[in-house]
Structure 1
Amino acid sequence: MAKLRSKCFKILIFIALHGTLLASLTACQSVFYYPTDFKYYDPARLNLKYEDVRFKTASGNEIHGWYFASSQKDSKGTVLFFHGNAQNISSHFMMFYWLPKEGYNYLIFDYPGYGESPGAPTPENTVEAGIAAAAWIRENKDQRPLIIYGQSLGGIIAMQTAIKIKDQQPIRNVVVDGSFSSYKKMGRRVLSRSWWTWWMQPLTYAVLSDAHSPEPIDRISPIPMLFIHGTDDPIIEPVSSEEMFAAARDPKQLWIVPNGHHGDLFEVNNREVRQKFLNYLQ
């Protein structure tokens, strides 16, 4: 998301000056994704045991993931983790390295184009990957209601996935961390941050698509929803979570974390949110 402003600005200016809307439409949507195939960290360095898994989406894309089993004999549930827009699972798995010791299984997977998942990410196939990941858990590991957690870009993908599967697969909670629910609104919010791009905000409705976004998010009801956001998030403003919370139906909660940034909410303030989250799940 950090590079969204500069790249999308150039595309929008090009559209304004030359009118090449069709050619730029896909390019502007793709600015939400910054995949890499570099392996940043090995879970073995943290003495974490994991299962290397692969499965396919409805469109035939192969998805790679890591499954971490609870270190307790009887697990308390399974978390399906949708990571953010940059890097891959080898960096994002660190966010929940502590979950297995607390009795939870979790699966983290890469969208097409990320890590060892071939292809290129799109709003449609990232959701397909989430649907396939949920199905893999149900068919191979845990048929109990699923805990869905989406961070940053993963939040909008997680919510859309929940809408797609909630009538076929039980879902226990949907947790949205530092995220947004509309590609168009997010693009407009980024453009509004600078006086010289403020006038271009309406163009986001032409070059970005919400065909695969979860709005209106009240469709997720009656699944309990939790929105978490740091007060000092430099990437996505807390007002994004406040708006989603207002739009969602009960049961719902909103946690605004003092001193929280983007992706560090379980580490700040003496890790108090970590225990609060465990209490919430129980």
Structure 2
Amino acid sequence: MADSTVSRGARPMVRGWRWLAVAAAGLVAVAGVSWAAGSWIAQPQQHPVGPVPEGWNAQAVEIGSAEGFVRGWYADGAPGHGAVLLLHGVRADRRAMLPRARALNQRGYAVLLIDLYAHGESDGDMISFGPKEAAGVRSALDWLRDRLPQERLGVIGASLGGAGLLLAHQGRPPDAVVLEAVFTRIETAVDNRVRERLGPLSAVVSPLLLGQMPLRLGLAADQVRPVDHLAQLAAPVLVAGGADDRYTTQAETEQMFAVAAEPKQLWVVPGAGHVDLYRFAPQAYEAQVFGFLNRHLQKQ
């Protein structure tokens, strides 16, 4: 009787240990998948970009920075029309900004479009979501100022490009800044993207992804918050975003606009998701963005 009683009492304990083992294995699996996902997210996006497009009077340039060389294309403009640095989004390269660059150049602007850190033909070992990209942005701005000291300087930064600009800690700000679909905080950017794919599981997966940042980048998540730097940017700012953007929501775009110092302008694009706003609405883009640059960069 005693042996039988012990055996029956042991069964719930055995089942409990089994459930604990299953739960532990599940947590290990989730952590492993999250680490693999983090590796994919931070994976460099380097590849040949090719020569300057035919029919465009531009030149290939190589600019040194604290994080290695950034490479891009530069085209001179007309004196007094200003210069614009163009910064693409994540997993793209300078070619994503080529339609803007050529349109601006035709209007007399000098243009410099670069591959961000770890993108295209630029150096880099991982995507850092702003901090390492900022070094190349800072050097590109200095390069333009040295080449065109008499010109007013503007920047168009899309998504990651805008984050890199805000994290560049410029002593001397540009004369005009356009931020397109730039995330406020890395925590929100990650959670929005994970939630889009995994729904409620983002509550588990997002913290696991964000927790990898100190190991991969030597930075905590709260050090990658472009919105915290925007208020100190002493430059005219146009903040743009899509009304249907699920990665950088309209609420985030409006929050960025709210913290920016005057003079500032907000453009929420009806029907646009997390897309190239110039390709989505070229005429409206030229009226809003090019009009903004004209007012602040071109000398009358």
Q: TM-score range by the shorter chain?
A: 0.7 to 0.9
Q: Corresponding residue for 2:266?
A: 254
Aligned residues of 1:259 and 1:268 also touching (Cα < 8 A): no
Paired residue type of 1:195: G
Distance 1:196 1:218, change over 3 A: closer
Q: Corresponding residue for 1:127?
A: 134
CA distance in 2 between counterparts of 1:204 and 1:17 reads: 14
Aligned residues of 1:37 and 1:87 also touching (Cα < 8 A): no
Q: Corresponding residue for 1:57?
A: 65
User: Deviation per CA, 1:18-64, whole angstroms, max 9, x where unpaired?
Assistant: 39989x779727615661414378521xx2211211121124x1111
Aligned residues of 1:156 and 1:182 also touching (Cα < 8 A): no
Q: Corresponding residue for 2:17?
A: none
CA distance in 2 between counterparts of 1:131 and 1:220 reads: 16
Q: Corresponding residue for 1:188?
A: 191
1:85, CA displacement in angstroms? 0.9
Q: Corresponding residue for 1:138?
A: 145
Distance 1:260 1:48, change over 3 A: farther
CA distance in 2 between counterparts of 1:192 and 1:264 reads: 22
Asked if 1:110 is matched to 2:115, the reply is yes
Distance 1:268 1:21, change over 3 A: closer
Distance 1:26 1:106, change over 3 A: farther
1:186, CA displacement in angstroms? 0.8
Bigger drift between 223-232 and 258-267 goes to 258-267
CA distance in 1 between counterparts of 2:178 and 2:39 reads: 24
User: Deviation per CA, 1:162-216, whole angstroms, max 9, x where unpaired?
Assistant: xx11x2x342122110121321221122233343413324445533434244341
CA distance in 1 between counterparts of 2:165 and 2:182 reads: 10
Q: Corresponding residue for 1:5?
A: none
Matched residue SS, 1:31: helix
Matched residue SS, 1:185: helix
Asked if 1:224 is matched to 2:236, the reply is yes
Distance 1:86 1:34, change over 3 A: farther
Paired residue type of 2:287: Q
The CA RMSD over aligned residues, in Å, is 3.2
TM normalised by structure 1 equals: 0.78
Q: Is the helix fraction higher in 1 or 2?
A: 2
CA distance in 2 between counterparts of 1:39 and 1:171 reads: 27
Aligned residues of 2:70 and 2:136 also touching (Cα < 8 A): yes
1:145, CA displacement in angstroms? 3.8
1:262-281 equivalences under 5 Å are 262-269=274-281, 271-281=283-293
TM normalised by structure 2 equals: 0.74
Unmatched segments (≥5 aa) in structure 2? 1-23, 214-220, 296-300
Q: Corresponding residue for 2:88?
A: 83
Distance 1:188 1:233, change over 3 A: closer
Aligned residues of 2:183 and 2:226 also touching (Cα < 8 A): no
1:134, CA displacement in angstroms? 0.8
Distance 1:32 1:244, change over 3 A: farther
Q: Corresponding residue for 1:101?
A: 106
Paired residue type of 1:159: L
1:280, CA displacement in angstroms? 1.4
Equivalent residues, number: 260
Q: Corresponding residue for 2:298?
A: none
CA distance in 2 between counterparts of 1:212 and 1:232 reads: 24
